[in-house]
Amino acid sequence: MLDSKEEIAGHLLTIQQLRGELGVAQEVERQREAENEESKKKLAAAEAEKVAIQRDLDSMKEKHRREIEGRDRRVRKDRHLARLSLAQEYDGVLAVVKNKLEQKKKETAAEIRLQEARARIEALTEYNEGGFELEAELERLKDLEVSLEVDYGLASVSDPSLSRLDLLRFLEILSIRIDAKPNLT
C-alpha cells in the first residue's frame, strides 16, 4: 500500500502542478482576452476615426467644389457686367460723336446760309453801284447777314478734330442713310 500512497501522493502532486499550470494558463488566457478586447476597442476607435476623417475629407471636397462654382459664377457675372459697362461707354461715346456731328452739321448749314447772304449782298452792292434801285433788298439782306452770323456763332463747334472732316461727303452719306430708313410713323 505504500506504493499506492506514494502513487496517490505523486498523483496529488501532479494534480496540484496541473492545477497551478491551469491557473497560469487561465490567467494568460484572461490577459490575452483583455488584450484582444483592447485591440478590438482600438480597432473600433481607429475605424470611427477613419470614418470621421473620410467625412471631413468629403466635406472639404464639397466646400472646395462650391467655392470653385461660386468663383466661376462671380467671374461670369463680372465678365457680363464688364461687357454691359463697355457697351454703355461705347453708346456714350457714340452719343457724344453724334452730338458733335449734329453741331457741325448745324454750323456748316449756318455757314452756307451766311455765305449765300454775303454773296447776295455783294451782288446787290454791285447792282446798286451800277445804278439799280435795290436799297430795300440790300438792307434786308444785311439784317439777314447779322442774324446768320449770330446763328453761325452759336452753331460753331469748338472741337478742332471735327473741322478736318469732309462734311459735304459726310452729309451726303448721312442723307443717303436717312433716306434709306423706312418711315415708322
116-148 per-position pLDDT tens digit: 888 888 887 877 777 666 677 778 778 888 888
Better-scored residue on pLDDT, 157 or 83: 83
**Structural contact between residues 91 and 152, judged by C-beta atoms closer than 8 angstroms:** no
Residues 45, 55: Cα–Cα separation, whole Å: 15
Measured CA to CA in angstroms, residue 50 lies from 24, 40, 42, 165 at distances of 38, 15, 12, 78
- Summarize the confidence of residues 77-104 as an average pLDDT: 90
21-57 per-position pLDDT tens digit: 999 999 999 999 999 999 999 999 999 999 999 999 9
Better-scored residue on pLDDT, 137 or 179: 137
Length of the chain in residues, anyone?
A: 185
pTM of the entire predicted model: 0.39
**Structural contact between residues 114 and 146, judged by C-beta atoms closer than 8 angstroms:** no
Mean pLDDT check: name the lowest of 12-16, 106-110, 123-127, 153-157.
153-157
Average pLDDT for the chain: 82
